[in-house]
Amino acid sequence: MNATSTPADERIAELRGEIDACDAELIRLVQRRLAVSQEIGQLRRDSGGTRLSLAREQQVIARFQDALGADGAALGMMLLRQGRGRL
Ligand SMILES: C=C(O[C@@H]1C=C(C(=O)O)C=C[C@H]1O)C(=O)O
């Protein structure tokens, strides 16, 4: 600790490091999820199926809603939208 920083400042800096690590992991997971989702979409289209599966999307949103409430559902919808690209 230097002369001007308090114990709270030190702890905040430490916790911000944890947040930064969480964010980096989340970004990596979102990118991985997008790649997997796009691969599934391509496989379905190549075999003559639809690009989207609304029943599956409802399951995904319900999972986020159950775990995280209304904001979770919104987050799930953002992830789904990311994988859709141009409709
Ligand atoms: C990835 C899939 O395709 C699409 C993308 C989804 C997703 O990103 O979770 C879910 C349903 C589909 O609309 C799938 O069917 O699982």
DSSP 26-49: HHHHHHHHHHHHHHHHHHHHHTT-
Q: Strands (DSSP E) along 1-85, which ranges?
A: none
Question: How do residues 7-35 score in pLDDT, each as one tens digit?
Answer: 999 999 999 999 999 999 999 999 999 99
Question: How do residues 65-75 score in pLDDT, each as one tens digit?
Answer: 999 999 999 99
Band of residue 85 on the pLDDT scale cut at 50, 70, 90: confident
The answer, yes or no, to whether residue 37 has pLDDT greater than 90, is yes
**Probe target for ligand 1 pocket from 33, 36, 37, with the most ligand atoms within 8 Å of CB:** 37
User: Is the CB of residue 83 below 6 angstroms from any atom belonging to ligand 1?
Assistant: yes
**Mean predicted confidence (pLDDT) in 47-67:** 96
8 Å CB contact between 79 and 86: no
SS3 56: helix
CA of residue 21 to ligand 1 center, whole Å: 27
- Report helix angle 54-84 to 7-46, nearest 10: 110
User: Is the CB of residue 40 below 6 angstroms from any atom belonging to ligand 1?
Assistant: yes
Note the pLDDT of residue 84.
Answer: 85
CATH superfamily of 7-84: Chorismate mutase (1.20.59.10)
